[in-house]
């Protein structure tokens, strides 16, 4: 994996992009009907044109969508082989979630919010290496107790971590999207 393919510095940014219900609806529209223009997406989801354009560009910037310009129109589709190798499993998992479920937006939104902060990614990585107490995480990641507790609570609520005895451990992710996110977070 080259440095440009590495998901670590950008996983939390990618999660911030997909932790948005309207952007997830856009992604779902493009799974069901690829090659749509900004105006078609805006009309379909009843979004102002500038908002639809901004959301599509955000998804494209994270390499979840690809754009193809034809004249003055831009057509968007879900990335397939164009996505970097590190992100392909996530794109595939998201695509399958939309193909198999009529409305997976809430579940994907909730999972993505687990990793919308770089400290939660770092905590998850530490927990994957073994059980850690709050104090150990605090010391090793240089954060306040309050911040450590808050981030751990978010990971627990999203079922990526759990308390065991006096420590926390990473939990085996349930579901394809959760597994793709945990693999990227643990990389």
pLDDT mean over 50-72: 94
99 & 139 share domain: no
Domain's final residue, options 75, 103, 131:
103
Largest pairwise CA distance in the chain = 62
The predicted model scores a pTM of 0.89
Computed over every residue of the chain, the mean pLDDT equals 91
| Listed residues 78, 103, 128: the one ending a domain | 103
> 80 falls in which pLDDT band (50, 70, 90)?
confident
**Cβ proximity of 85 and 8 under 8 Å:** no
Task: Look at residue 6 and tell me if it is in a domain.
Answer: no
22 in the same domain as 98: yes
Instruction: Provide the number of structural domains found in the chain.
Output: 2
- The pLDDT assigned to 9 comes to 52
Mark which of 48, 70, 103 sits at the end of a domain. 103
- Same structural domain, 22 and 66: yes
Say if 75 falls within a structural domain. yes
pLDDT at 144 exceeding the cut of 60? yes
Q: Residue 118 pLDDT more than 60?
A: yes
Q: Same structural domain for residues 153 and 172?
A: yes
What's the rounded mean pLDDT across residues 56-74?
Answer: 94
Would you say residue 1 lies in a domain? no
pLDDT at 101: 87
For position 70, which CATH number holds?
Answer: 1.10.10.10
- Could you tell me if 122 and 168 lie in one domain? yes
In this structure, are 86 and 136 located in the same domain?
Answer: no
Tell me: the pLDDT tens digits for 147-183? Answer: 999 999 999 999 999 999 899 999 988 999 999 999 9
For CA atoms 141, 146, 147, 149, give the dihedral sign: positive
Same-domain status, 15 and 99: yes
Q: Which of 27, 6, 10 is nearest to 116 (CA)?
A: 10
Same domain, 95 and 51: yes
Domain residues for the domain of 143 are 112-186
Nearest 5°: the CA angle 58, 60, 62 is 75
């Amino acid at each position: 994996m080259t440095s440009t393919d590495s998901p670590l510095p950008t996983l939390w940014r990618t999660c911030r992009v997909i932790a948005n219900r309207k952007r997830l609806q856009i992604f779902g529209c493009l799974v069901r009907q690829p090659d749509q223009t900004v105006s078609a997406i805006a009309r379909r989801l009843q979004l102002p044109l500038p908002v639809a354009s901004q959301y599509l560009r955000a998804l494209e910037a994270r390499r979840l969508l690809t754009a193809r310009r034809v004249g003055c129109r831009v057509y968007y589709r879900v990335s397939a082989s164009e996505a970097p190798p590190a992100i392909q499993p996530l794109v595939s998992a998201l695509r399958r979630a939309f193909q198999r479920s009529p409305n997976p937006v809430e579940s994907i939104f909730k999972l993505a919010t687990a990793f919308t902060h770089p400290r939660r990614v770092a905590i998850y990585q530490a927990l994957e290496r073994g059980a850690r107490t709050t104090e150990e995480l605090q010391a090793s990641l240089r954060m306040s107790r309050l911040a450590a507790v808050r981030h751990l609570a978010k990971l627990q609520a999203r079922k990526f971590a759990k308390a065991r005895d006096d420590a926390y451990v990473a939990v085996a992710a349930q579901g394809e999207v959760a597994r793709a996110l945990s693999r990227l977070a643990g990389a």
